[in-house]
Each structure stands twice: as C-alpha cells, then as structure tokens.
Amino acid sequence: MKLLVVDDHPIMRLGVRQLILLEWPDAEIAEASTIAAALASIAASKPQLVVLDLSLPDANGLEGATRMLRALPGVPVLILSLNAEAAYAARLMQMGAAGYLPKDRAADELGLALRRLHQGGRYVTASMTEHLLGLLSGASPEALPHEQLSAQEHRVMLLIAAGQTPAQIADAMHLSVKTVGSYRARIFEKAGWKNNTELTKYCVQHGLTTL
C-alpha cells in the first residue's frame, strides 16, 4: 500500500503516519508539507491513497484540493480539516474527494476512513452523514446561503473572502475576469449580500476562512 500524506505540521504528519501503520504495517508513506511538494512527489511515490490537509502554506481551502484532485484522477483523497461543517464537506465531495474527516476525529476514525476508501467507498463521520446527504441531494430544507452555491460559486466566494481581486481569482481558477464577475453576481443574488464586506463577514462568522 502506497500513501501520500500532505500536511505542513510535522507532528500531525507523524500522528497520521502512525495511524496508517496500525492499519498497514508495510505501507510505503510519502510525506509533503505543501501542495507543490506533493505534486512534485507524485511520479516517484505513485500513491494509492492521499491524506490531504486543507490548510497549507501554498494552497488554502478548496484550492489545494482542486489541484490535488486534478493531478490524481481516480486516486481516493481523504480530506482532513479543522472545519467540521457538513456544507464544506459536501463541496469537497462534489468536487471528487472520496472522504472528509475533521481533525479532531482523526485519532478515532482515520483507520476506518482509509479502509473504506481503499475498498472503493466514501467516508464522512456519522454526525455529518444526514446533513451531508441532504446537501448532496439538494433536499436540505434549511440551507444556509453558502450551501445554495455551486462548487465553483463556493470557491469564488472563498477567494473573495480571502481578499483576492477578480484578476487574481480568474488566474487561480483559469477563468476570464468576466466569468468571475458573473459568478460573483450569482453569489450575491443567491445569498442576498450587497458587497464584499458582507460576504467576508459571513464567511468569518461561519468559519469558512480558516480552513
């Protein structure tokens, strides 16, 4: 079994490594502290599973996940995050992540999650499951404003909240500035925000800017 662990905290990587070795004592585990280092190691490590932190120096939130999923089509990626919000998990699952695990549950559930992914399944915590299924099916009756956004709109929202300009967002997402403007308009229409300040305040209040 070959795995790639991407996290910028050495202690966290060590803990994840030990949990993996409890499941697969002979596992080959490559490590990286940034998305750039992870992408550079893929050819040599040929991972069958990836454990990816969402808070990295060179890619925060959805950006890092997007780059990793694009580089490893068909390889199960388990997201680790400080954010335990089901709506955020839903976005990542829609993008192609195979599992989502809050970091405070890693010690208890990481092994189970990796086994599930290795068997071709998907994984979220039991407490997330009902809400997550509702969000993925569009059946959640009390969706918050950001839960009504598409995956691309959600990503644009987070980049706006991070202070990115339309040109920077366009470059990061490989879109035109005009398309970014269209996404922004749809976001404001769906959520009812009047300006970037309201959007940013909302993201901070819901823990969407420190992922």
Q: How far is CA 46 from CA 1, 11, 15, 28, 73, in A?
A: 10, 24, 22, 10, 12
Q: Is 60 helix (H, G, I), strand (E, B) or coil?
A: strand
Which pLDDT belongs to residue 171?
92
Which pLDDT belongs to residue 85?
67
Is the separation of the CB atoms in 169 and 156 below 8 Å? yes
Query: For residues 50 and 146, what is the distance between their CA atoms, to the nearest angstrom?
Result: 27
The upper half-sphere exposure of residue 70, i.e. CA atoms within 13 Å in the direction of its Cβ, equals 9
Which pLDDT belongs to residue 141?
47
Which pLDDT belongs to residue 170?
93
With a cut of 70, list the residues of the chain below it in pLDDT: 60-61, 84-87, 131-143, 209-211
Q: Delineate the domains of the chain, giving CATH numbers in brackets.
A: 2-137 (3.40.50.2300), 145-205 (1.10.10.10)
Partner residues linked to 59 by β-bridges = 56
Which pLDDT belongs to residue 137?
59
pTM of the predicted structure, to 2 decimals:
0.69
- Distant-in-sequence, close-in-space partners of 209: CB < 8 Å, separation ≥ 6: 158, 161, 162, 200, 203
Q: How many angstroms from the chain centroid is the CA of residue 146? A: 15
